[in-house]
Structure 1
Amino acid sequence: MSGDMTGFWIIHNGLSREGPGTPEDVAWAAEVAQLPKTGRVCDVGCGPGSDLGVLADRVPQGHVIGLDPYLSFVVEATLRHWDRPEIRVRRGSSLGGDGLMAPSDVGPLDLIWCAGAIYFDGVGPSLTSWRSALAPGGSVVFSAPVVAQADDAEAVAFWEGEAFDTDDSLDAKIRDAGYEVTARSRVSDAGWQAYFDAVEARCDALDGVDDPELQNAITQSRQEAETWSRLKDRLGYALRVVRPI
């Protein structure tokens, strides 16, 4: 899921989401994690802020903090929620290795939400780092790339080098990091379809731009959508609700 980054960002600039998911995923996570109405929540890798409003709705007497390493996303998410004082967005990274803010700087947290970004630093290292940011009884909810079978070369190739697991190996990494899984789910096909519909609509709008790099990115984006449609029963995003043991 890589390709020419200049073209990638042109296609993705202004999209409401930067990856598959639905508000229902967020609501499910908050309910299963027993998020209190006074909860303090951090969305790590919040992108343009598509999940921040849903999270804030679940903590009407609490606070939501979005962290993202890309300033453009921080600005977009801030403008998107400028009229909600309970939502704040800051530039940060998951582990703080580049000198940016890590979740521990904004804790203690009742919930850390991470939609599709935990693979950047790895499930194990991220969960280990985030433990210190959690309040007693706090949970981490994340989605991560998985394939149904580790030896399915075509499904593995879809992730183009991104970290991936099977459901079993993902759960093993969670246990090794000192967490227990309290609930399991999966990002729905509807969440994937809505994401690709938005990407393909943007590609259609940009089709007339006479630029080889952009056209290459458009071709790759359309191929990715087609490949997902063909392989969706063999890969996806696993959703996990986990707590430190």
Structure 2
Amino acid sequence: MDWDAFFTVHKDLPREGPGTQDDVDWACGLADLAPDAVICDAGAGPGGDVSALLAHVPRGRVVAVEKVPGFVRQGQTRFADTPRVSFEEGDMAALADHAQAPFDLIWCAGALYFLGLEAGIAAMAKALKAGGVLAFSEPCFFVDSPSPAARAFWDGYPAQTPETLSKMLQDAGFAVLGQRALPDDSWEAYFRPMERRIAELRTTQSERLEPMLEACAAEADAWRAVRRETGYLLSVARLG
């Protein structure tokens, strides 16, 4: 990975994965959080969901944990004047050891699979209070026979189905409160700002950046081609 090229494309984008405030509102509505709840945004990127999460805990706080230093710096700048938000560099696999744990809600938008799904669910369970809620989006297939292009979109990662994902959660001690596929608007909220950045950079940047621009543009095109077959499933589950 050419990280310099990556951050040239991604620097200061509003978010680093699909999602909108509506997705957060839906999940938090199912979670039924107390006003003073403590939320962990695990794999927070630059903090695209933090403000939406914070609105659901008017006397609580959001602990944003992100592994990539560049995103941490963006998040810290973004929320420097928001005392109910802490933005820090850390490994979401170790959330159970965090000073603020156990949490009332862990929100993990498109990042849990970096740990491996079963290991990730187990790690989140250890970091939640009894009765706490895990809300996360995970690659899923929405048709019985996904096309080769749909399978290739995840680059070999074993995407689930809603049924297999529900069983994994139940086997780990969670009760599923709700599931829904992220709608097209949630994906476009990520891709459209990135595509505008790509268009700008193509007029000003050197040839060295072109492979990264092509790769980022190809991701958006590939998703649009298979969006009826696959995407993210947002699951909300309470620890029993």
What is the TM-score normalised by the length of structure 1?
0.91
Instruction: Map 1:188-203; keep pairs closer than 5 Å.
Output: 188-203=183-198
Question: Do the aligned partners of 2:181 and 2:231 also contact (CA within 8 Å) in 1?
Answer: yes
Alpha carbons 2:66, 2:88 under 8 Å: kept: yes
Cα distance 1:103–1:204, how it changes in 2: closer, same or farther (>3 A)?
Answer: farther
Cα separation, 2, equivalents of 1:132 and 1:146: 24
Contact 1:6/1:214 (8 A) holds in 2: no
Which secondary structure does the structure 1 equivalent of 2:92 belong to?
coil
SS at match of 1:58: coil
Q: Indicate whether 1:173 and 2:193 are aligned.
A: no
Secondary structure of the 2:137 match is strand
What percentage of aligned pairs have identical amino acids?
34
Post-superposition CA distance 1:91-144 (Å, at most 9, x none):
111213xxxxx2441212110000000000022111212222212221000001
Distance 1:167 1:4, change over 3 A: farther
Give the match for residue 57 of structure 2.
59
Cα offsets for 1:26-66 (capped at 9, x unmatched): 11111110011110110000110111111111101111100
Matched, 1:40 2:38: yes
Q: Structure 1: how far apart are the matches of 2:2 and 2:159?
A: 22
Q: Matches of 1:25 and 1:104 in 2, distance apart?
A: 28
Aligned mates of 1:15, 1:162 — CA distance in 2: 25
Question: For residues 143 and 137 of structure 1, what CA distance do their matches in structure 2 show?
Answer: 20
Number of matched pairs: 238
1:121 to 74, 99, 115: 115
* 1:93 aligned partner: 91
Aligned counterparts of 2:105 and 2:173: Cα–Cα separation in 1 = 17
Could you say what the CA RMSD is over the residues aligned between the two structures, in angstroms? 1.7
How does the TM-score come out when normalised to structure 2? 0.92
Contact 2:178-2:237 at 8 Å conserved across structures: yes
1:6-21 equivalences under 5 Å are: 6-21=4-19
Instruction: Pick closer, same or farther for the CA change 1:231–1:240 going to 2, 3 Å.
Output: same
